[in-house]
Structure 1
């Protein structure tokens, strides 16, 4: 059995922001690309589990109106959220330990939807396998960055670069 991969898949502005200062991703709503949408759908079919932090979960619900990943096993990491109205499981314990157990279970790959703090913590614990970053053709000037805190060097290896209309998707393997 091959261990499942944890993949951070997201879009960011050309100047490196994954969200605007208020946490919204409205800048992405103003852009469109059928090729980028098709690439997302291909990725979405390759995973069976989604992970996210509380803020990402709440913003996703607010933006979509209903939980958009109901067909996937879903986990929200939070110490303040205790229950949800959708098929999401809230996890309040040790996140790296939980993810290690999840990776060892049989299944498809795991998508880390968002949460800069969670991403950083999992990266420090060598639990992130792949980064798929789609660069949107916009400069924000300010916003929320990909990494929550300073990291020591994290070596990455570019495994793919694909242009989708005006977007570019870069895929990196995390060197362990």
Structure 2
């Protein structure tokens, strides 16, 4: 059965992206250009992301002009982008733009994943929607040694300690890796 994993890098003070929706602050951390492959979720069949994460990736990696890079980075992966905008899609990419609540699209996402995992990459409001419908199994954070003055919050929700069980805390180069198992409503 699929596992739904939120796995993202976050600033020391809890931001996923800066005020301009950029992740460049993360790539400015020494060692961030070549992340430890052990940090990334395995057996992923579906990516889920918000529009800002998707657009930053398209621009940063120049994926519209170089669509072959999409296939190199995400072979066989279906990407669901939650957005109210009409966004460009690289040629040949398996991207589905959706403008519905997570709860309505979740059955389709689960079916698309089959027996592979679902990686929710960002952003914080999207993570919140998945938590609202009790659909996150693992919350994995790579905390960067950098603080931002503002930007996209990790999680604009209150989630009590009773819902999270720490399963891993370790150093990963200059980063701190924290992994929580999300306890599901009974």
When normalised by structure 2's length, the TM-score is 0.81
Alignment of structure 1 residues 5-154 onto 2, 5 Å: 5-33=3-31, 37-39=35-37, 43-66=40-63, 68=70, 69-71=73-75, 72-81=77-86, 84-85=89-90, 86-103=93-110, 106-148=114-156, 150-151=157-158, 153=160
Other structure's SS at 1:118 match: helix
Aligned residues: 172
In 2, are the aligned partners of 1:116 and 1:146 still within 8 Å (CA)? yes
| 1:53 shift after superposition | 1.4
Give 3-state SS (helix, strand or coil) of 2:40's partner.
helix
Classify the secondary structure of the residue corresponding to 2:20.
coil
Equivalent residues of 2:16, 2:124 under 8 A apart: no
1:38 & 1:8 partners in 2: Cα distance?
17
User: Secondary structure of 1:113's match?
Assistant: strand
CA contact (8 A) 1:35 1:164 kept: no
Contact map agreement 2:140 2:179 (CA 8 A) in 1: yes
Q: Which moved more, 1:84-93 or 1:27-36?
A: 27-36
Whether contact under 8 Å (2:23, 2:56) holds in the other structure is no
User: Residue 37 of structure 1: SS of its match in structure 2?
Assistant: coil
Deviating 4+ runs (over 6 angstroms):
none
Question: Alpha carbons of 1:169 and 1:36: their partners in 2 closer, same or farther (altered >3 Å)?
Answer: farther
Whole-Å Cα distance in 2 between the matches of residues 23 and 14 of structure 1? 17
Distance 1:44 1:130, change over 3 A: closer
**Deviations 1:55-104 (CA, angstroms, capped at 9, x unpaired):** 21111101111164441111111222266233211122332232234335
Aligned pair in 2 of structure 1 residues 28, 83: CA closer, same or farther (>3 Å)?
closer
